[in-house]
Amino acid sequence: MLGYICGRIFALMMILLAVSIIVFSLMHSVPGGPFDERKGRLPPAAKANILKKYGLDQPVWKQYINYMSHAVRFDFGIPYQRPHTTVAKLISKSWAITVQVGLTTIVVAFGFGILAGIYAAYHQNSWVDTLVTFVSSLGVTVPNFVVAMWLILIFAVSLNWLPMGGWGSSGQCLIDKYFCTDWILPVVAYAIAPMAIVARYTRASIVEVMGEDYVRTARAKGLSEIKVMRKHVLRNAQIPMVTALGTEIPNLITGSIFIESTFRINGLGKYFVTSTLNRDYPMIMATFLLVAFLWGILYLLTDIAYTMIDPRVRLGAKSLS
Amino acid sequence: MGEALLEVENLHVHFPTPDGVVQAVNGISYSLGKKEILAIVGESGSGKSVGVLSLLRLIPARDCKVQGSVNFEGQNLLKLSDPEMRELRGNRIAMVFQDPMTSLNPVLRIGDQIQESVIEHQGISEKIAKSRAIELLELVGIPEAGKRYRHYPHQFSGGMRQRIMIAAGLACEPSILIADEPTTALDVTIQAQIIDLVKKLRREIGMSVIWITHDLGIVAGLADRVAVMYAGKIVEFAPVDQLFKTPQHPYSRGLLNSLPRLDARSEKPLEAIEGLPPNLINYPASCPFLERCSYQTEQCQIPPEMRSITTTHEVCCHHTEKL
Ligand SMILES: Nc1ncnc2c1ncn2[C@@H]1O[C@H](COP(=O)(O)OP(=O)(O)O)[C@@H](O)[C@H]1O
Ligand SMILES: [Mg+2]
């Protein structure tokens, strides 16, 4: 098992290397550069100076080697958009906020989504089931910034119950600067779509498992419905759920530009867009590598989760019998 | 047979579906004596499973209609509340199902699955339950029970899994074990082992068994009495030797004629029963076997009633004298 995990981590390194090459060559082959004049013209000498300062006058392969030799030492360079800080500092500062938004959203989306899914599965075709299906179809089809606008209109503008934006600056918080009133709207807006997916997937997985023979066996033993559900249904329903729902996690913890700009949250989400638009090469590289890393780790974790849920799965071993 | 342990009277099970009502079980009555092994035979779709699942109210379809009465220890099982019913399941009446590959939970250790019902019904500690589970594994003939206790279902063969299912069924020493085609999915040699095991357990534990099968070969070596089911009805009910020697209902005869015989000196070819069982949605107003019967007469338009032809032998046919 340990050997297997080491192998997977090595493979992840190789993937990061491949991603870095692809992203680097793609971003340099897109027309336009970070210091193209948009407003006034720069004197050619000054422009040459800037390019030289950032090493952009060298051939691309040299720039790549230069970048990677720093990157392996966790020096990801200086963002062109904010030359007074470093990429590492900028990402750690803005990602810290995005992770707060993301994790809270994950807890809300998965918590309510799973509960709603279980309830709907156990009350098939009841009005609650219909409601869950309806709300989750809406949740999947309506974009989160539209939901965000409606929430702001209702709860901030009309009712004036909650702040319109910000993150941890409303002054009304549960703990220190965490879990504040201004967390509620962004988290709800952000959570609706994943919650809908989680609810639908949970319902489908449970309904499928409830029809299995071993669930009938469990009932025939005289177990109560609660025990049948906890010991037999949910344990097995977890298996398909891990596969489908794990993939929501990296998306949620890397933030959404829509949510962050709607609610004026200084998170990482916006840099995915602005660094590409500004040809901010160091930021592009860093954000892409971060996403690739998170996905790689996620897949590793879901595979490890399988081995804990399902004894038939043995990582890296040839299958028994 | 002595006093009956279980008495099923006029049991009906109907499923309302969008296409009409499926009349799966249509008025079956039988009794099960203490320590008796009763076999229920019939082709697939004849209502054998539905008939026994309804005794414990284990039919998954919520809107199914069950009528009649099922008397066990002075109470009508169909009238029990849900908690009363749960108290009985796995405790006084246990079930073993057809497919041992899918009937065990793949993610739980088999020890857990065996001791689950004892813990539920007798409220004993995990530790005592564990030693009980190991005892049961030994009883059903699983070697190295102490070690195997911790294994998962996928680490066992089909025959071993069925033994585990039986061990789980026996955990609370039930008075009745209902086995729904427990050997159908197994090899013939494993079948024989399981059958010997059940006979041994009946002697040692003194429980009664309802054994469902579509294989008359198994019935001959195992059962005391046999109920032959056709289209949701019992068409013949007799001690096993009487059924094999003097089958009365044309359907029972057909089943027996379709069996290969080792002692057959005659060159008679095996006979299959022609035709198909009736549609359970448009249940015929006549004798349900009419279309496939070579003895049919005018009289058969009226469905026959169950009649005793000896003290122990009952048949549901108008023509028993002539056969
Ligand atoms: N939930 C259900 N809804 C409708 N029909 C059903 C349902 N369960 C069983 N049946 C029907 O009842 C009949 C008897 O089934 P079953 O008892 O399983 O037969 P078998 O003798 O093979 O065990 C079959 O025709 C089957 O299609
Ligand atoms: Mg069946």
ipTM of the prediction: 0.89
Which candidate, B14, B15, B29, B24, places its Cα nearest to that of B69? B29
| Residue B314 DSSP SS3 | strand
Q: Please name the residue whose Cα sits nearest to atom 9 of ligand 1.
A: B50
Residue of A nearest to B154 (CA): A312
Mean pLDDT score, A47-63: 85
Which of B19, B44, B49 for mutating ligand 1's site (highest number of atoms within 8 Å of CB)? Answer: B49
pLDDT in tens, A230-261: 999 999 999 888 887 888 899 899 888 899 98
User: Residue B3 carries which DSSP code?
Assistant: S
Q: What is the mean pLDDT of residues A114-138?
A: 89
Asked if residue B246 lies in contact with residue B252, where contact means CB atoms within 8 angstroms, the answer is no
B24 to chain A, closest Cα gap in Å: 19
CB contact under 8 A, A214 and B105: yes
Task: State the DSSP H helix or E strand holding residue A36, giving kind and residue range, or none if neither.
Answer: none
Which among B147, B123, B122, B152 is positioned nearest to B137, based on CA atoms? B147
Report CA torsion sign: A80, A84, A89, A93: negative
Decide if B102 touches A, using CB distance below 8 A: yes
Residue A287: pLDDT above 70?
Answer: yes
Query: Of all helices (H) and strands (E), which one includes residue A75?
Result: none
Among chain A residues, the shortest Cα distance to B59 is held by: A216
Note whether A221 contacts B90, CB cutoff 8 Å. Answer: yes
Note the ligand closest to the C-alpha atom of B233: 1
Cα–Cα dist A60/A288, whole Å: 18
CA-nearest residue for atom 1, ligand 1, is: B61
Q: How far is CA A104 from CA A190, A196, B86, in A?
A: 10, 16, 41
Q: What average pLDDT does range B194-221 have in this prediction?
A: 89
CB spacing of B107 vs A218 below 8 angstroms: no
Are the beta carbons of A67 and A286 closer than 8 angstroms? no
For residue B262, what pLDDT band results from cuts at 50, 70 and 90?
low
pLDDT of A37 strictly over 70: no
Q: What is the DSSP letter of A80?
A: S
Max mean pLDDT range (A49-63, A276-290, B9-23): B9-23
Q: Could you tell me how many residues make up chain A?
A: 321
Model pLDDT, residue A38? 66
Residue-wise pLDDT tens digits, A218-231: 999 999 999 999 99
More confident residue, B248 or A47: B248
pLDDT digits (tens, 9 = 90+) for A102-113: 999 999 999 999
User: At residue A319, does pLDDT exceed 70?
Assistant: no
Is the CB of A309 less than 8 angstroms away from the CB of B94?
no
> Taking residues B241-250, what's their average pLDDT?
92
Residues B106, A220: C-beta atoms closer than 8 Å = no
Q: Using CA atoms, how far apart are residues A34 and A76, in angstroms rounded to an integer? A: 17
3-state helix, strand, coil in chain A (%, to 5): 70, 0, 30
- Among A276-290, B252-266, B299-313, which stretch is predicted with the lowest mean pLDDT? B252-266
Closest ligand 1 atom, CA of B212?
23
Neighbours of B242 (CB within 10 A): 17
Burial bucket for residue B260 (CB in 10 Å: 0-12, 13-18, 19+): exposed
Helices (H) and strands (E) in chain A — how many of each?
A: 14, 2
Q: pLDDT class for A321, splitting at 50, 70, 90? A: very low
Chain A contacts of B113, Cβ < 8 Å?
217
Pair B216, B38: CB distance under 8 Å: no
Q: Is the pLDDT score of A5 beyond 90?
A: no
Average pLDDT on B123-152 reads: 92
User: Which carries the bigger pLDDT value, residue A227 or residue A136?
Assistant: A227
In the numeric block, which tokens belong to residue B270? 């095996």
Residue B264 has pLDDT above 60, yes or no: no
Confidence at residue B2, expressed as pLDDT on a 0 to 100 scale: 57
Size of chain B in residues = 323
pLDDT at residue number B148: 95
Residue B149 Cα, gap to closest chain A Cα (Å)? 15
- Residue B120 with chain A: CB contacts under 8 Å: 221-224, 227
CA distance A186 to A204: 28
* CA B51 to ligand 1 centroid distance, Å: 9
Q: Best substitution site from B12, B13, B15 to test ligand 1's pocket, by max atoms within 8 Å of Cβ? A: B15
Residue B230: which of B161, B172, B317, B148 has the closest Cα? B317
Window from A151-155, A217-221, B275-279 with minimum mean pLDDT:
B275-279
B107–A222 C-beta distance less than 8 A: no
Share of chain B above pLDDT 70, in %: 95
Closest of B159, B221, B149 to residue B191, by C-alpha: B159
The confidence band for A139, taking pLDDT boundaries of 50, 70 and 90, is confident
CA distance A205 to chain B (A): 15
For ligand 1, mutation pick of B50, B63, B230 (most atoms within 8 Å of CB)? B50
H or E stretch at A178: strand A178-180
CB contact under 8 A, A223 and B86: yes
- In this model, does residue B261 exceed pLDDT 90? no
- What CA–CA distance (Å, rounded) separates A161 from A152? 10
Nearest ligand by distance to the CA of B43: 1
- Ligand 1, atom 14, lies closest to the CA of B47
Query: Would you give the DSSP letter of residue B273?
Result: P
C-alpha of residue B23 to centroid of ligand 1, in Å: 9
Least confident residue range of A143-157, A243-257, B140-154? A243-257
**Mode of pairing for the β-strands spanning B176-180 and B20-33:** unpaired
What is the pLDDT at residue B152?
95
Beta strands in chain B (DSSP E): 4-17, 20-33, 37-41, 65-72, 75-76, 93-96, 176-180, 208-213, 225-230, 233-239, 307-308, 314-315
What is the position in ligand 1's atom list of the atom closest to the CA of B61?
A: 1
Pocket of ligand 1 contains residue B50 by CB under 6 Å: yes
Question: Is any Cβ of chain A less than 8 angstroms from the Cβ of B173?
Answer: no
Q: Nearest CB to B88: which of A216, A222, A311?
A: A222
Q: Judge if the beta carbon of residue B170 lies within 6 A of ligand 1.
A: no
The answer to whether the CB of B278 is under 6 A from ligand 1 is no
Task: Cite the DSSP H helix spans in A162-319.
Answer: 181-210, 213-220, 225-227, 235-246, 248-253, 257-262, 269-277, 281-309
pLDDT at position B115: 95
User: Is the pLDDT reported for residue B157 higher than 50?
Assistant: yes
- The answer to whether the CB atoms of A217 and B120 lie below 8 A apart is no
**Residue B180: Cβ-neighbour burial (10 angstroms; 0-12, 13-18, 19+):** buried
Residues in Cβ contact with A264 at an 8 Å cutoff, skipping those fewer than 6 apart: A165, A166
CB of B15 closer than 6 angstroms to any ligand 1 atom: yes
pLDDT at B9: 95
Q: Is A216 on the interface with B (CB under 8 A)?
A: yes
Residue scoring higher pLDDT (A29 or B32): B32
Whether B107 contacts chain A with CB within 8 A: yes
Of the residues B116, B120, B170, B180, the best mutation for testing chain A's interface (the one with the most A CB atoms within 10 Å of its CB) is: B116
Q: Pick the residue from chain B with its C-alpha nearest to A231.
A: B108
Most confident by average pLDDT, A274-278, A290-294, B269-273 = A290-294
* Higher pLDDT pick, B222 / B262: B222
- Could you tell me the CA-to-CA distances from B39 to A132, A142, A212, B43, B313 in Å, in that order? 47, 59, 26, 13, 14
By the 8 A CB rule, do A197 and B86 touch?
no
Query: What percentage of chain A has pLDDT greater than the value 90?
Result: 44
For the stretch A159-171, what's the b/e string if a residue is b when 16 or more beta carbons lie within 10 angstroms of its beta carbon?
Answer: eeebbbbbbbebe
Instruction: Give the whole-angstrom CA distance, residue B120 versus residue B170.
Output: 14
Q: Do A222 and B117 count as a contact with CB atoms less than 8 A apart?
A: yes
Banded pLDDT at B60 (limits 50, 70, 90): confident
